[in-house]
Amino acid sequence: MEAITIYGIKTCGSVQKARKYLESKNLPHEFVDWKTTPLDFGFLEWLIGEVGIEVLLNTKGATYKKLGLKERALSPAQKQQIMLEYPLLIKRPVIVYKPSSASAMQVLVGFDESRLAEVFG
């Protein structure tokens, strides 16, 4: 594994579980906290291209409900703009990694221990 970066917020339980998992496997990783590092439009656009906006948008979280987004018919562009303004709307963690055998970066969204074991051992 060449590079692993976890994006999210440090107080999120799913982010903490993912970080602990990688640490238990002695896999070094970088952590980017969206509360202190603003989300970049180009990066969000790339993520959406990799996994799709519906995978990224956390429709079960408190922020989604608080903003009343369920009742609004939002276009993909509107969803993207709202995710830029409210990064807590993005399902966490977002793990970007580059396997040694691949030429491109890969993305995992959400905490799934069996999927992490499949990818990272």
- Residue ranges and CATH numbers for the domains of the chain are 3-120 (3.40.30.10)
3-state secondary structure of 47: helix
Q: Categorize the per-residue pLDDT at 81 as very low, low, confident or very high, splitting at 50, 70 and 90.
A: very high
pLDDT of residue 101: 80
Residue 99: predicted pLDDT: 84
Mean pLDDT in residue range 98-109: 88
CB neighbour burial string for 79-89, b if at least 16 within 10 angstroms, e if fewer: bbebbbebbbb
Ramachandran angles phi, psi of 31, nearest 5° = -120, 130
Determine the average pLDDT of the residues in 75-99. Answer: 94
* Catalytic residue list contains 12: yes
* Confidence at residue 38, expressed as pLDDT on a 0 to 100 scale: 87
- pLDDT at position 1: 60
Helices 41-51 and 76-85 pack at an angle, to 10 degrees, of 130
Selected catalytic residue, list 4, 6, 9, 12: 12
